[in-house]
A and B are shown apart, each in its own frame.
Chain A
Amino acid sequence: MTVDKNAVKKIARLARIQVSDEKAELLSADLGNILNWIEQLEEVDTTGVEPLASVNEHALPWREDIVTDGNITEQVLKNSPEVAGDFFVVPKVVE
């Protein structure tokens, strides 16, 4: 498996991590090696095997549909890098 520079840039874009051309080059080798090593999984015959997402296969518990938390605006905003009034501030997204 090879992950070329462009593929690295595409994944990094999906993960929202800025990657320079230089770094993409290094990561291409790194990720390629790791994925090659992981490809040993292909040796395993998994025909008809149900994927296991979690060992906890019980149905998730139900609870009453009632409010159990809230009115903690101040706490929610407390660690934000930038706040205006009761809002998080982000760079402008609407033209």
Chain B
Amino acid sequence: MSDLLKMTAAQALSSLSKKQISSVELTTAYIEAMEATHELNNYVTSTTELAKQMALDADKARADGNAGRLAGLPIGVKDLFCTKNVMTTACSSILNGFVPTYESTVTSRLWESGGVMLGKLNCDEFAMGSSNETSVFGPAINPWSARDGEALSAGGSSGGSASAVAAGAALMSVGTDTGGSIRQPAAFCGVVGLKPTYGRCSRWGVVAFASSLDQAGPFTRDVEDSALIFSVMAGHDAKDSTSASMSVPDFSEAINSGVEGMRIGIPGEYQMDEMDNEISDLWRQGRKWLEQAGATMVDISLPHTKYALACYYIIAPAEASSNLARYDGVRYGNRIEAETLDLMYEATRASGFGEEVQRRILIGTYALSAGYYDAYYLKAQQVRRLIKQDFDTAFSDVDAILTPTTPSAAFSLGKPVTDPITMYLNDVFTVPANLAGLPGISVPAGLSKQGLPLGLQVLAAPFREDRLFSVARTIELQAQFSLAPARAAGELQ
């Protein structure tokens, strides 16, 4: 059964239903791959015993004719989702040892559909970062790193989620995206990453970073699998008041409907001076593919694009400073003892939060403080509306928008970026979708000169994930990207 790791989720489901393989066999292969790729630092907690039990249960359910939509498929979970009786840390030392007594809605849905949990995946601390380097466990490593060369970043914040799927250490995984944290690592690792419309997936039980921007989504080997797992994750949840009470459509038709007759926008503002040539070339290639497939490419303008990052770096830290106030050393997590309550809070938070998290809490606190609220926070919210209006206008004319996912391929972990703003620029193409609440997908579309994966991003109007799947599937068929990272589990290389 040496081909187990090569199967997509759809292929595995087909083999499972024909009894050609069992979930126990499939899960065992993945557990072995997790061990073989241990050095990539993808998993911060492995739940292999639980996985074996869930695989047995899935096989039994299938034999009884009760198989759920994901029955028997091994899935990894970003360590930002609360998982009942399984340690959840948000990769922060302040939550070291935290064992939730409840399960997030999104992961509940995965397990209720028969998914098998492999473990918890590495990410930037509280999802704040673009390289996975702010994790208290150290960075996840990109499996596309040369065996004898420098380690490359898997991206962030969901670096472990992207790396595990690319390395064959998870068939699928889930992550979260606040400013690009699914799409950027997906592009760096050569897998498909979907950030759904704000409100599609419940945020209940997900450690909060910026509540008006956070959204859960999947990492998969291809677009078909993305639609499969997304349709299980999505749907209304009374426990999240921002979750949309809209039905989740069947996407199987959208995946194969192609782009004939679609109008796809190319935003001029995304052609940035500092962008690598190979990114521009890939973007041009993407346009050509879609044109050949029958789409009409339309030049569009999103005039406020250049302000999106600055806007984001007020709004996200402001929301974070409020959300992270709950880590007080009283109800959960680590505590540093001190004489008074205030000193205990201050010592606990200074010791428990890493540098980038502290920086963002301070920026957010500043922006929300008396005297600066109007100048920073309200101003950013006004610019946010203008950014959203740019998209509203664009989507009155086009069905989808095509852009690069990132301004470069995966960078080296060897030269730490010391300037926060340089790191923030990684998210220049992904942040606008979060500010506007739009769905976006990154699909692997080619390789850089160094042989590293590059992604194209497709955006659509809210709740039109179907269009993302149609466009991304078309790109996928034309690109014929094959997953073959040097440091993946044996048979994937």
User: Using a CB–CB distance below 8 Å, which chain A residues touch chain B?
Assistant: 3, 8, 11-19, 27, 30-31, 33-35, 37-38, 40-44, 46, 49-56, 60-61, 63, 72, 75-76, 78-82, 88, 90-93
- On whether A16 and B334 interact (CB within 8 A), knowing A44-B307, A75-B101, A91-B344, the answer reads no
Closest CB-CB distance, A3 to chain B, in whole Å? 7
Question: Which of chain A's residues has its CB closest to B420's CB?
Answer: A34
Contact segment of B267-275, B283-291, B345-353: B345-353
Interface presence of B329 (CB below 8 A) = yes
CA–CA, A11 to B459, complex, Å? Answer: 38
Interface presence of B403 (CB below 8 A) = no
CA–CA, A69 to B388, complex, Å? Answer: 37
Residues of A near B199 (CB, < 8 A) are: 55-56
Residues of A near B365 (CB, < 8 A) are: 11, 14-15
User: Using a CB–CB distance below 8 Å, which chain B residues touch chain A?
Assistant: 97-102, 198-199, 212, 238, 241-242, 244-245, 304, 306-307, 310-311, 313-314, 321, 325, 328-335, 337-347, 349-350, 353, 358-359, 361-363, 365-366, 369, 376, 378-386, 388, 419-421, 436-437, 462
Residues of B near A79 (CB, < 8 A) are: 97-101, 331-333
CA–CA, A81 to B352, complex, Å? Answer: 13
Evaluate contact between B331 and A17: CB separation under 8 angstroms. Answer: no
Evaluate contact between B341 and A52: CB separation under 8 angstroms. Answer: no
Evaluate contact between B362 and A44: CB separation under 8 angstroms. Answer: no
Residues of B near A34 (CB, < 8 A) are: 313, 359, 363, 420-421
Grouping DSSP codes into helix (H, G, I), strand (E, B) and loop, the A interface class, with mixed when no group exceeds half, is loop
Q: Which 5 A-B pairs have the closest CB atoms?
A: A55-B437, A51-B381, A79-B332, A52-B385, A46-B382
Query: Of A15, A38, A55, A93, which contacts B314 at CB under 8 A?
Result: A38
CA–CA, A14 to B365, complex, Å? Answer: 7
Residues of A near B366 (CB, < 8 A) are: 3, 11, 31, 35
Evaluate contact between B386 and A46: CB separation under 8 angstroms. Answer: yes
Residues of A near B329 (CB, < 8 A) are: 81
Closest CB-CB distance, B467 to chain A, in whole Å? 18
Closest CB-CB distance, B355 to chain A, in whole Å? 9
Evaluate contact between A38 and B310: CB separation under 8 angstroms. Answer: yes
Evaluate contact between A16 and B198: CB separation under 8 angstroms. Answer: no
CA–CA, A56 to B330, complex, Å? Answer: 33
Query: Of B101, B321, B339, which contacts A72 at CB under 8 A?
Result: B101
Question: Which of chain A's residues has its CB closest to B357's CB?
Answer: A17
Residues of B near A30 (CB, < 8 A) are: 359, 420
Closest CB-CB distance, A17 to chain B, in whole Å? 5
Question: Which of chain B's residues has its CB closest to A30's CB?
Answer: B359
CA–CA, A60 to B376, complex, Å? Answer: 26
A-B contact pairs, 5 of them (CB 8 A): A14-B365, A17-B349, A44-B304, A80-B330, A90-B344
Residues of A near B238 (CB, < 8 A) are: 61, 63
CA–CA, A19 to B386, complex, Å? Answer: 37
Given contacts A41-B311, A44-B382, A90-B341, 14 further A-B contacts (CB under 8 A): A17-B350, A31-B362, A34-B313, A34-B359, A34-B421, A38-B314, A46-B383, A60-B241, A63-B238, A79-B331, A81-B334, A82-B335, A90-B330, A91-B340
CA–CA, A50 to B242, complex, Å? Answer: 20
Evaluate contact between B376 and A18: CB separation under 8 angstroms. Answer: no
Residues of A near B331 (CB, < 8 A) are: 76, 79-80, 88
Question: Which of chain A's residues has its CB closest to B419's CB?
Answer: A33
Residues of A near B363 (CB, < 8 A) are: 31, 34-35
Most chain B CB within a 10 A radius of its CB, from A34, A40, A61, A75: A34
Query: Of A11, A41, A81, which contacts B362 at CB under 8 A?
Result: A11
Evaluate contact between A15 and B330: CB separation under 8 angstroms. Answer: no
Question: Which of chain A's residues has its CB closest to B342's CB?
Answer: A16
Residues of A near B362 (CB, < 8 A) are: 8, 11-12, 15, 17, 27, 31
Most chain B CB within a 10 A radius of its CB, from A17, A41, A93: A17
Closest CB-CB distance, A26 to chain B, in whole Å? 10
